[in-house]
């Protein structure tokens, strides 16, 4: 079941993000950061197993730009369309809010390409997006994420 995140999901979201960060798949985030951005998150919840299977967030960057971030699907749930459903929910919300440019910094280039994103040079994105990057040990010389954008 796809739904908006709840306060009761914060610790699970935090755990999923930080496990993925430990594998080098994304940046770690604090509990406080997740509480502050909870409204950005969608959850894919497996009711049968009473488990969060996937998470994704849509963060408003500016008047005409949103970011898809923190996409994570538990290993046992991958290849089942959950990531696609989560990203599409975020895109739908961006459109509802009147945001027609959506970008991501990702290691999952193929997934986002299938969804209609195209690769762009990071330098074409506004400096505002780099706030999280400054905290990354890979910034600026070793960033290996791909910048991708979708213009709706």
Q: pLDDT tens-digit profile of 14-24?
A: 999 999 999 98
Label residue 143 by pLDDT band (50, 70, 90).
low
Element (H, E) at 89: helix 82-96
The CATH code of the domain that includes 120 is 3.40.630.30
At residue 122 the predicted structure's pLDDT band, cuts being 50, 70 and 90, is: confident
- Total domains present in the chain: 1
The closest of 99, 11, 111 to 59, measured between CA atoms, is 99
106 alpha carbon, distance to own chain's centre? 9
Q: What is the pLDDT, as a whole number, of residue 109?
A: 95
The confidence score (pLDDT) of residue 118 equals 98
Determine the structural domain holding residue 57 and report its residue range: 2-151
Q: Which residue in 106, 86, 143, 130 sits closest to 25, CA to CA?
A: 106
Burial of 21 (0-12, 13-18, 19+ CB in 10 A): middle
Across the range 138-152, mean pLDDT stands at: 79
Q: How far apart are CA 42 and CA 56, in angstroms?
A: 5
Half-sphere exposure of 37 (CA within 13 A, CB side): 22
Selection from 26, 34, 30 nearest residue 8 by Cα: 34
Sign of CA dihedral 29, 32, 33, 35: positive
- In this prediction, residue 87 has a pLDDT band, given cuts at 50, 70 and 90, of very high
Mean pLDDT taken over the chain:
91
Q: DSSP class of residue 145?
A: P
Of 3-7, 75-79, 141-145, minimum mean pLDDT range: 141-145
Give residue 59's pLDDT band: very low, low, confident or very high (50, 70, 90): very high
For tokens 């998150």, the residue is: 41
- Residue 128 predicted with pLDDT over 60: no
pLDDT for residue 1 is more than 80: yes
């Amino acid at each position: 079941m796809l739904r908006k995140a709840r306060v009761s999901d914060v610790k699970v979201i935090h755990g999923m993000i930080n496990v993925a960060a430990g594998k080098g798949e994304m940046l770690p985030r604090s509990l406080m950061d997740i509480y502050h951005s909870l409204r950005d998150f969608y959850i894919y919840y497996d009711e049968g197993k009473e488990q969060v299977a996937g998470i994704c967030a849509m963060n408003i960057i500016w008047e005409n730009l949103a970011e898809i971030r923190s996409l994570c699907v538990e290993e046992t749930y991958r290849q089942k369309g959950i990531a696609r459903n989560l990203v599409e929910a975020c895109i739908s919300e961006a459109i509802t809010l009147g945001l027609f440019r959506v970008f991501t910094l990702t290691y999952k280039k193929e997934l986002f390409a299938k969804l209609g994103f195209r690769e762009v040079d990071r330098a074409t994105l506004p400096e505002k997006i780099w706030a999280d990057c400054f905290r990354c040990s890979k910034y600026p010389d070793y960033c290996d994420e791909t910048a991708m954008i979708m213009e709706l």
